[in-house]
Amino acid sequence: IFFRIMSKLSLSAAIIWLVVLLPAVHACSRILWTKYSNSFVMSGRSMDWVFSFDDYLYVVPRGIPMDGGMGKGSARWTSKYGSVVSSMSGWSSKHGFDFVRDGGTDGINEKGLAVHVLLLEATEYPPPDKDIPGVSYLRWARYLLDNFATVAEAVEGTKKVHILSVAIMGHVLGAHVAIEDSNGDSAIFEIIEGKLHVYHDKKAVVMTNDPPYDQQLKLLRRYEGFGGDLPLPGSTSSEDRFVRLSYYLPYLPKPADDTEAVASVQSLMMNAAVPFGAPYGDDVYPTWWTSYSDLTNGVYYFNWVKNPFLIWVELKNLDFSAAEVLVLNPRDPRLLGEVSALFTEVGTREAQKAAVPEMHSTTLSVFGCVSAIFVCSIFAVAIHQMLVKRTAGGGRMRTSHLNPEESPLLT
């Protein structure tokens, strides 16, 4: 029924209608894999939403002036570290927000700090305070990536500002943030009843959406492997995704190299992804893209799910001493592999002019189906080969449930 309705609405009317429903959205997942931290530290995240945000990737150099986007009471800074940032700016810029500064949802900086902004409906931002510098939640990611090299620094820096609300088409999006660094440290920030809650713990390796993180941990204890007797759940709800990711993460086998490490994290993220065309009841929205941050080697991977190929940016190939912010449209189906040389200056807006057609349509294309099947098949084969090698070498694939003390979340 939803698709029949949407096919009869104009694009602008559809977006307005969907924004009205935004409070009912549950979307996105994040994991941090540190089991083999002596070899690598890697994270993954997904972006699930009812429509595409027309996302862009940015290269932000050092020395770029920035503010919190809250007017006179804003925090102000100059980027200390260069970064690669994923942003929903293609959408937010159509509704009055800055194409470069606003909308950051994900990214990694040159020091190995990664940031992931996900939806949290339970968020209640504090009111502005003239004595505390303000940062819009649409610039929260930039604040962290621009200023801090480690999780510990970011935790202290976040306590010195207020993360504040701004309305997009009359609606405020609640956000919580997960961060990690190349040492495997981790933290989750949530703003509940106007107060900042910080979960600074290397065991904070999974985050989805509502309920807040402390409640997710309590719910987790109901399931087999975490002290309870409920079987592993299978829906796409935030609670169920949290349980599945927490359960499977410790079972990922040791990869032979960086390529297998990316494949392993992607295979797990696909377990929490939502297919195109899935029913939209019970707050289910499709996965538009996934990202993978190799914090050890400084590589940012990105997969637009409607494209069959993975792209990545090796930060060592970027000139973070440059004077201009650069931009790339990662939705372009022609992209494949390492793309650091393909970013263009934002001032020319060439990336916007060259943008692929809008993807707000909810009609599932044949190409999208084939691409999704193609990508999943590749990584299924890769994981199968890894397990075969493990077995051939005398290893044994574990199938039993985790004991509560084995969980990185509950110990």
Detail the DSSP E strand segments found in 144-260: 162-164, 175-180, 186-192, 195-200, 206-207
Q: Which tokens sit at 29? A: 């997942």
CA triplet 44, 50, 52: central angle to 5 degrees? 70
Catalytic position from the list 25, 27, 28, 305: 28
CA triplet 7, 309, 40: central angle to 5 degrees? 125
- Dihedral angle sign, alpha carbons of residues 118, 145, 66, 53: negative
The residue assigned the tokens 């001493």 is 321
Q: Which CA distances in Å does 144 have to 26, 103, 303?
A: 24, 13, 23
Distance CA 286, CA 25 (A): 11
Q: Which tokens sit at 305? A: 């799910």
CA triplet 392, 395, 399: central angle to 5 degrees? 115
Q: Which amino acid is at 146?
A: D
Return the closest-CA partner of residue 85 out of 73, 103, 64. 103
Instruction: Report whether 191 contacts 197 (CB < 8 A).
Output: yes
Helix (H) or strand (E) holding 372: helix 366-392
Tell me the Cα Rg of the chain. 20
User: CB-side exposure of 314: number of CA atoms within 13 Å?
Assistant: 7
Q: Is 369 a catalytic residue?
A: no
Return the closest-CA partner of residue 311 out of 298, 296, 287, 330. 330
Q: Which CA distances in Å does 216 have to 209, 213, 228, 240, 291?
A: 9, 5, 14, 10, 23
Catalytic residues: 28
